[in-house]
Amino acid sequence: MTDAATGTADDPALWPAVDQAAAIAAGRFSSRELTDHVVARIERLDGEVNAVVTRDFDTAAAAADRADAARAAGEPLGRLHGVPITVKDALATAGLRSTGGAVELSDNVPTADAAVVAAVRAEGAVVVGKTNLPRWSADSQSFNEIFGTTNNPWDLTRVPAGSSGGAAAAVAMGFTGFELGTDIGGSIRFPASFNGVWGHKPSWGVVPTTGYLDHVAGGDTEADINVSGPLARSCDDLELLLDVLARREAPWIPQLPAPRFDVDSGDGLRVAAWLDDPSCRVDAEVLAVLKPAVAALEAAGVSVDRDARPDLDPDEAWEVGLWLVRAAMTLAGEGDGPDHRSWLVRHARREELRRRWAEFFADFDVVVMPVAFVPPFEHLQEGTFSDRLLTCNGEQRPYPDVTRWTILTGMAYLPATVPPLGLTPADGLPIGCQVVGAYGADRTTLAAARLLADVAGAGYRPPPRALA
């Protein structure tokens, strides 16, 4: 197909999904041509990354042929018509193995799609395969006993983060038009930042999570804090996918208001910049990317307050949030969950913290924060989540600290958009940030993140091995 095998950024496999869909609709190339090309890229380039771990290429080819036949017949086309995609293996896919990274589900083949998978299929997306993750989505790396380890496409010795690590790596490498991830403690946000792609963690409850293979009742119910959301190569993709994925059925249909500022100029946008904190010091390599981006926003005339903070104790908020995340994941996976009274005590404290966040957002539209206190780190699989160590500014820190900046907002159900902002000076590793807003202000965080990336001259760029 035209430009498809050139090994350059002109390769349609590296385009935003909205552009892929538009090209298919206009007849520039067919769904089958793009699907075959993406499959060829996976077969040629994924051996060293190990992102796409279950492959369904024949079924995808047949689906692409049906998409092309529908277009030829003049049938109405969905907004993602003919776009080949992969799906995180924590989400059920009808007729295609879905394991959650757990050996107990090695042979699990669901009969129905997860809600978000059904939503994108209804808009014409073609599922090519499933992407890797940690067992039960419970780590900030992506490895398990079934499929092994996924590597960061920017540096194979480093992690793609987790738990949607295979998903984000697939987006970065052009193995998919976009991806569907999940996030309970940072599992969309870490991988977006570590792989240099866009990600959006919706406000809790906005997107249905049924069919998620990491909680009680086999995905038939929805878990506390956990969300499903998109990973992509552009903010346009995130905005479209939020519309596609948001729940449409009673008893609750979310209302997501438009931003209250000029989305083109930034006039009226009120930004707080919380880039570092004594409770979780941030590595100098991360700050070397975040600080210039915020300075560019300020230079563009946007109001930035570098001292504003919500009226809460970050340590307490993280401890409450981590307890609630672990409670939700215990119910999801294995072990005895907390007693109901203990949960109610923490939940009551969480509601107070949510109130304080709401008070903060009365004065600000968004707060810009780190995703993680370190850049992408080397593979670290020995020991448990609790006893591993990471190095920050030359000092060792507990591995669970990697969740401090994400749980602080996630446990409060807040939306967060991650734009890719640049590469670390020392090692050339991707860094993004969280653009966090009030509950339900998803369109605000998306618009503010787009503006931030634009003024910083940032955004998705393919890793060199994606151009090979």
Tens of pLDDT, residue by residue over 50-79, are 999 999 999 999 999 999 999 999 999 999
My answer on whether omega of the bond before 342 falls inside 30° of 0, hence cis, is: no
The region, left, alpha or beta by phi > 0 then psi within -120 to 50, assigned to residue 377 is beta
In the chain, the percentage of residues whose pLDDT exceeds 70 is 95
Q: Residue 3: its pLDDT value, please? A: 40
Cβ contact 109:230 at 8 Å:
no
**Strand 270-273, strand 303-305: pairing:** parallel
Confidence of residue 328 (pLDDT cuts 50, 70, 90): confident
**Catalytic: 140?**
no
Domain ranges of the chain: 12-245, 270-467
Active-site residue among 163, 164, 203, 234?
163
Task: Choose among 170, 172, 183, 174: nearest CA to 132.
Answer: 170
**Catalytic: 130?**
no
Q: Which residue has the higher pLDDT, 468 or 367?
A: 367
Residue 121 has pLDDT above 70, yes or no: yes
Active-site residue among 137, 187, 203, 228?
187
Residue 4 has pLDDT above 50, yes or no: no
Superfamily for domain range 270-467: Amidase signature (AS) domain (3.90.1300.10)
Residue 316 has pLDDT above 60, yes or no: yes
Residue 276 has pLDDT above 80, yes or no: yes
Q: Residue 250: its pLDDT value, please? A: 67
Per-residue burial over 399-430, b = 16 or more CB atoms within 10 Å of its CB, e = otherwise: bbbbbbbbbbbbbbbbbbbbbbbbbbeeeebb
Q: Residue 254: its pLDDT value, please? A: 82
Q: Residue 217: its pLDDT value, please? A: 47
Q: What are the Cα distances from residue 44, in Å, to 5, 147, 160, 309?
A: 11, 18, 19, 48
**Catalytic: 193?**
no
Distance CA 288, CA 292 (A): 7
Q: Residue 335: its pLDDT value, please? A: 54
The CATH code of the domain at 12-245 is 3.90.1300.10
Give me the mean pLDDT over the 382-402 stretch.
97
Domains 12-245 and 270-467 share a fold: yes
Amino acid letter for position 20: Q
Active-site residue among 30, 31, 88, 130?
88
Tens of pLDDT, residue by residue over 209-256, are 999 996 544 566 788 999 999 999 999 999 999 999 999 876 777 889
